[in-house]
Amino acid sequence: MANQLQKRSIESPTRSAPALTSTPGTSTFVLVYHRSPYDETVDANGQRQWVDQKSPNGIIPTLRNLFQEERGGTWISWREDAEDADSPDERVSIDKDGQTFALRRLPLTPEQISSFYHVTSKESFWPILHSFPGLFSVDNSDWPIFEAVNRSFARAACEEAAQGATIWVHDYNLWLTPGFIRELRPDVRIAFFHHTPFPSNDVFSILPWRDAILDSLLSCDLVGFHIPRYANNFARNAMNLRGVKGADPIPVDGKFRRVGCALAEPTAVPWLEHEGRKVHLLSSPVGTSPQTLREIAASAEVRTLAAQIAEQHSERKLILSASRVDYTKGNEEMLLAYERLLEQHPDWHGRVELFLACVAAATGMRIYEDIQRSVEEIVGRINGRFGRIDWTPIRLSTRRVPYEELLAWFSEADVCWITPLRDGLNLVAKEYVAVRQGRGGALVLSEFTGVSVELEQALLTNPYSHRSMDAAILAALEMPEPEQRQRMAAMAGTVDTFTVQHWAEEQLGALRAL
């Protein structure tokens, strides 16, 4: 029985088209994303309320704003149904903040969510996407469940979409959805945006389901990525594994670094030809909402928090790092570099403090629990070795820091230290730059983050190299104020130009222009 289950999980069965249970809908724009546009709450009277996400930044508010133009569109996400995944989809009308659209939520059982999202997506796909093949696991993955969930999203999209509609699908856990849509609705335009890295050919090929994934993405009219490296990796995978024809590479857009760091690319493949159709590839990194961030940072609440932080760290350099517990984030490597700083430069004792906001994972995965334990042990050792009665070298928080508080830390941090071993983009770096506009500050950034090809004035470092990490953090602490301001002004210009709104307009604008 176990062998049969493993065989079922590893093989890529021929995809069957989901049943279309109704005629095409009326929505000219359908957005397919597993996350909901609002959080659902129940008030004191038992009435359901839709409230904003806790973080005002990120792509959710921007995607919602698309419905100010695409009125009458549909957003498709999931909802957890503890009893029966065969219960009907929930469809409600949203009329809030000038946005009018339908929200269609698909019922998934806790078991489906665990298998589809926490197991197959996180244990099988996540390590491959981030080029950690040694952590890849197929043992618990259930490919038929992943197919079934993607088929449900495709069915809902097809039932909502009007003739010739635009359907925009998001992220790797919906890899198969475009292919199912194309089989049912050849009349629609399909775009897909990949929010994580796309790995090189030799790493992606490890996935037993690689052909099904590529065939689905090649069903799109447009596939979007943060940076040219990820687009080129996808193109090479498609050409090598599926034999598609690729266009001649062209110079990358001027907003991207072409040489000089690990993820730089001088040229990019603009389109692929598959089954008589051009699949356009577009690189445009997600941005922030810098003006919104600055308005929040200037609020009385955040200024009060910032004043408290400044008082606590008076006469000391404050380093901030914010991430979550994940093997891709490089938290252990960063802490060891900080320990070496204190070992090799005792003149910094009592003059520098590190605040690490490292949100604990809630998935129950053993590897994340081990990483969190290791982070806590390293912090304890460093504080035990170097701490004094009037100085604690590291302050660690594993709780989810409220957004307003995090912006207060951004406003007071002399250095922002963001050094993942691999990251699709990293918005924390952009948020720090946005809040520090008109001031100094230093950004230490891993060259294996997508944002490294945008923010050329950051201090780039190789998190795998002790020498590179040590030199970068020391340079950040010793950087003269005029140089800080010069670098920060240049980075702020980039952040202000390439906002999250710019990203959405560029992706959808390219699709409409086809």
pLDDT in tens, the chain (514 residues): 333 333 333 333 333 444 444 468 899 999 999 988 888 877 777 777 787 765 544 578 778 878 877 767 999 999 887 676 677 888 888 888 777 899 999 999 988 988 998 889 989 999 999 999 999 988 888 999 999 999 999 999 999 999 999 999 999 999 999 999 999 999 999 999 999 999 999 999 999 999 999 999 999 999 999 999 999 999 999 999 999 999 999 999 999 999 999 999 999 999 999 999 999 999 999 999 999 899 999 999 999 999 999 999 988 999 999 999 999 999 999 999 999 999 999 999 999 999 999 988 766 678 899 999 999 999 999 999 999 999 999 999 998 888 899 999 999 999 999 999 999 999 999 999 999 999 999 999 999 999 999 999 999 999 999 999 999 999 999 999 999 999 999 999 999 999 999 999 999 999 999 8
- From residue 48, alpha-carbon distances to 76, 94, 98, 295, 425 in Å are 19, 12, 19, 30, 35
pLDDT at 153: 96
The span from the CA of 292 to the CA of 68, in Å, is: 18
227 contacts 453 by C-beta, under 8 angstroms: yes
Q: Looking at residue 65, what is its pLDDT?
A: 79
Buried-state track 130-143, b at ≥16 Cβ within 10 A, e below 16:
bbbeeebebeebbb
At residue 72, the pLDDT reads 75
- Please say whether the dihedral angle defined by the alpha carbons of residues 110, 113, 116 and 118, taken in this order, is positive or negative: negative
The model's pTM is 0.92
Decide the pairing of beta strands 245-246 and 222-225: unpaired
Pairing of strands 189-193, 161-170: parallel
CATH class of the 290-497 domain in this structure: alpha beta
- Name every residue whose Cβ is closer than 8 Å to that of residue 213 and which is 6 or more positions away in sequence: 175, 176, 207
CATH number of 2-12+28-287+501-513: 3.40.50.2000
Q: What is the pLDDT of residue 50?
A: 80
Type of residue numbered 301? E
Identical fold between 2-12+28-287+501-513 and 290-497:
yes
Task: Compute the distance between CA of residue 434 and CA of residue 495 in angstroms, rounded to an integer.
Answer: 7
- Where is 446: in which H helix or E strand? strand 442-446
- Determine the pLDDT at residue 55: 54
390, with CB counted inside 10 A (0-12, 13-18, 19+), is exposed
Terminal alpha carbon distance of the chain: 49
Residue 39 tokens read as 């959080």
The CA angle 72-75-79, to the nearest 5 degrees, is: 140
Q: What is the pLDDT of residue 40?
A: 80
Amino acid at 345: H
Q: Rounded CA gap, 358 and 119, in Å? A: 22
- Where do the domains of the chain lie? 2-12+28-287+501-513, 290-497
Place of tokens 């059982």: 109
- The length of the chain in residues reads 514
What pairs with residue 99 in β-bridges? Answer: 96
Q: Residues 60-88: pLDDT tens digits?
A: 877 887 887 776 799 999 988 767 667 78
pLDDT at 67: 83
State the angle between helix axes of 481-497 and 290-297 in degrees (0 to 180), rounded to the nearest 10. 130
Given CA atoms 45, 47, 48, 51 in this order, what sign does their dihedral have?
A: negative
Supply the pLDDT for residue 80: 83
